[in-house]
């Protein structure tokens, strides 16, 4: 546990706690709005959380060579997390764009003049 200084440990642990809080808040926002794509974003955040926990675990045990597989797992989870977060962000953008298009088409329909006979 001596591999990192106390301030660095504070940053590592608080970052993990903040990430967990962000996952929970985004999931809750999805519940409130009823939009499933926010749930997808919160799920897409899990690989990055696993990667952060791998790094903290490796440092906690003073970076031993016997746990080098954690470094590989952490790197893999970072790549997977970046891919899942990118995909979730794209899905949110796509769904929001569709919603905007449907809203604008509905407002155009309501603004169309009606012929009075």
| Helical ranges in the chain per DSSP H | 6-33, 36-44, 46-60, 68-110
Of 52, 96, 48, 83, the residue nearest 70 (C-alpha): 52
Q: Say what the pTM is.
A: 0.80
pLDDT, tens only, 18-30:
999 999 999 999 9
Low-confidence residues of the chain: pLDDT under 70: 1, 105-117
Break the chain into its structural domains and give their ranges: 6-99
CA 61 to chain centre: 28
């Amino acid at each position: 546990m001596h591999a990192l200084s106390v301030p660095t440990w504070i940053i590592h642990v608080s970052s993990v706690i903040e990430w967990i809080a962000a996952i929970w808040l985004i999931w809750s926002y999805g519940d409130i709005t009823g939009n499933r794509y926010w749930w997808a974003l919160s799920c897409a955040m899990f690989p990055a959380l696993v990667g952060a926990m791998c790094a903290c675990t490796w440092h906690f045990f003073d970076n031993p060579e016997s746990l080098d597989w954690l470094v590989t797992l952490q790197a893999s989870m970072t790549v997977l997390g970046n891919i899942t977060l990118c995909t979730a962000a794209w899905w949110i953008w796509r769904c929001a764009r569709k919603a905007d298009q449907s809203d604008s088409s509905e407002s155009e329909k309501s603004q169309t003049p009606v012929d009075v006979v």
